[in-house]
Structure formats: structure tokens, C-alpha cells
């Protein structure tokens, strides 16, 4: 079973920042927080991951709370192409990824 | 660098036939994962393999399904005697350092 809780769906206006929350209250000290997305029926795409510190790359930013029990994925300037299902995952190294139901993000023109 | 390559992209089989799905991991990757996605459902883990070894097959159906990742060549997911309920998208992923998994475009299996 997935160890994360995410809203079922969210809307965001094009050009605005999309903030996707995730709860992972039972996360262990050696588990990373990963974010993937799946656009329509394509293969999942890696976005970002982190352990304790906030992370930023060319796609997004990841904010992890100090107690590590929740995190937020931020897409700074959402476009229509960011419409997808976003998955928040906790995972130790050398292990499989277990996908939950994710958040269906709709970017509105 | 070529990504994870899956073929065929689409596969049509009649009930009772065998389906073979292939996955070539990214160059240098020795870990392969298979996932299944039924229509309008989430991604379900099936099996995790390293070269010549099955590490975790906890998501594999007990019968008709098998997977291998030989020393040379692609990983193969084999489904014997397919039934209509096997119709799904099958995704393969690979990793090297076990941080990021990179996914292929999937094989869409349709059973008639």
C-alpha cells in the first residue's frame, strides 16, 4: 500500500504556481520523498526527490517540512502541458516504487 | 542517451495465446521493474529484477506470468494463455544507482 495521502484532484490557472501537497506521516528516517507524474497514458516521468532538505531543479521545487511528515511540490509557472496525474512516493534506496492514486492536476487556460 | 525502450508498442493477442513484452534498460542500468496499469486504474508493481536474478516478485500473479532479465539482452515479461483481463498497459522502468527510476513508453496489450 502507498504510504502517502494526496488530494484526488486540483485545478490551477495557467501561468500560476501549482502547489501539490502530500502527507507522509509514517515516513522512516531512510525514506526519500519522490514525485513522478503521468501525462495521459505515457510512462511515468521523474520530477524531483529529496530526503530532508528542500530541492529545486529545472522542473519543480520540493518543500519538505522539518518533521518530514509532509511535503509540497511546486510547479512555478504551470502550463497546459503540466496537466497530469502527480504521484508522491516515499521510498528507500534499492526498493520498488509503490504508486498510490495521485493527484489529478488540471491546468485551466 | 537512449531511454528505456519497450517493444512492441502495441500487441494484440487472442485468448489462449502467449504475449512476450520486451524491455531494454538505459545504458549502464542493471535494475529493471515491471508495472501494469489496467484501464482507468493506477500503476501496480509486478516484479523487480537485477541481471539474472528476481529480487521481488510480490506483485506477480501466481500463474501464467513470468519475467526474466538475462545476462545479455532485454528483460522479458511473458504472459502465457492470455485472457481478456490481461489487457492493460505494461510499463518497464530501469535504474542504475537506485535513486531514480526511468520509465519506458509502455506496451499496450489487447486481448481479443
Q: Tell me: the pLDDT tens digits for A67-104?
A: 999 999 999 999 999 999 999 999 887 788 999 999 99
Give the model confidence (pLDDT) of A27-54 as tens digits: 999 999 999 999 988 999 999 999 998 9
CA–CA–CA angle B71, B91, B2 (5° rounding) = 60
Give the model confidence (pLDDT) of B22-67 as tens digits: 999 999 899 999 999 998 888 999 999 998 899 999 999 989 999 9
Q: Which residue of B103, B104, B107, B110 is the best one to mutate when testing the A interface, meaning the one whose CB has the most A CBs within 10 A?
A: B103
B101 touches chain A (CB under 8 A): yes
Chain A partners within 8 Å of B40 (Cβ): none
Any idea what DSSP says for residue A5?
Answer: B
Which candidate, A7, A10, A3, A8, places its Cα nearest to that of A82? A10
A17 touches chain B (CB under 8 A): no
pLDDT of residue A14 exceeding 90, the answer is: yes
Q: Å from A76 to nearest chain B CA?
A: 22
Chain B partners within 8 Å of A40 (Cβ): none
Q: Grid coordinates 522542473 are at which residue?
A: A59
Please name the residues in contact with A47: beta carbons below 8 A apart, sequence gap of 6 or more.
A35, A36, A37, A59, A60, A73, A86
pLDDT of residue B1 exceeding 60, the answer is: no
Sign of CA dihedral A5, A47, A93, B27: positive
| DSSP per-residue codes, B24-61 | EPPTT--EEEEEEE-TTS-EEEEEEEETTEEEE-TTS-
Query: Both ends of chain A: CA-CA distance in Å?
Result: 35
Q: Is B99–A41 a contact, with Cβ atoms under 8 angstroms apart?
A: no
**Radius of gyration for the alpha carbons in chain A, expressed in angstroms and rounded:** 13
Q: Is B42–A101 a contact, with Cβ atoms under 8 angstroms apart?
A: yes
Give the model confidence (pLDDT) of B78-102 as tens digits: 999 999 999 999 999 999 876 789 9
Amino acid at each position: 500500500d502507498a504510504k502517502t495521502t494526496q488530494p484526488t484532484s486540483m485545478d490551477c490557472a495557467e501561468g500560476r504556481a501549482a502547489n501539490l501537497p502530500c502527507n507522509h506521516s509514517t515516513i522512516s528516517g531512510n525514506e526519500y520523498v519522490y514525485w513522478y507524474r503521468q501525462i495521459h497514458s505515457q510512462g511515468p516521468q521523474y520530477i524531483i526527490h529529496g530526503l530532508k532538505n528542500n530541492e529545486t531543479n529545472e522542473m519543480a521545487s520540493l518543500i519538505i517540512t522539518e518533521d518530514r511528515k509532509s511535503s509540497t511540490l511546486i510547479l512555478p509557472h504551470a502550463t497546459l502541458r503540466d496537466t497530469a496525474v502527480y504521484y508522491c512516493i516515499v521510498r528507500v534506496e534499492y526498493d520498488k516504487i509503490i504508486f498510490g492514486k495521485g493527484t489529478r492536476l488540471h491546468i485551466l487556460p | 542517451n537512449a531511454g528505456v525502450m519497450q517493444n512492441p508498442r502495441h500487441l494484440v493477442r487472442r485468448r489462449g495465446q502467449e504475449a512476450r513484452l520486451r524491455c531494454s534498460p538505459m545504458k549502464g542500468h542493471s535494475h529493471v521493474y515491471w508495472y501494469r496499469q489496467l484501464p482507468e486504474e493506477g500503476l501496480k508493481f509486478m516484479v523487480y529484477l537485477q541481471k539474472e536474478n528476481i529480487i521481488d516478485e510480490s506483485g506477480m500473479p501466481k500463474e501464467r506470468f513470468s519475467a526474466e532479465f538475462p545476462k545479455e539482452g532485454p528483460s522479458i515479461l511473458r504472459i502465457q494463455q492470455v485472457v481478456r483481463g490481461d489487457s492493460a498497459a505494461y510499463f518497464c522502468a530501469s535504474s542504475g544507482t537506485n535513486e531514480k527510476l526511468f520509465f519506458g513508453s509502455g506496451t499496450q496489450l489487447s486481448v481479443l
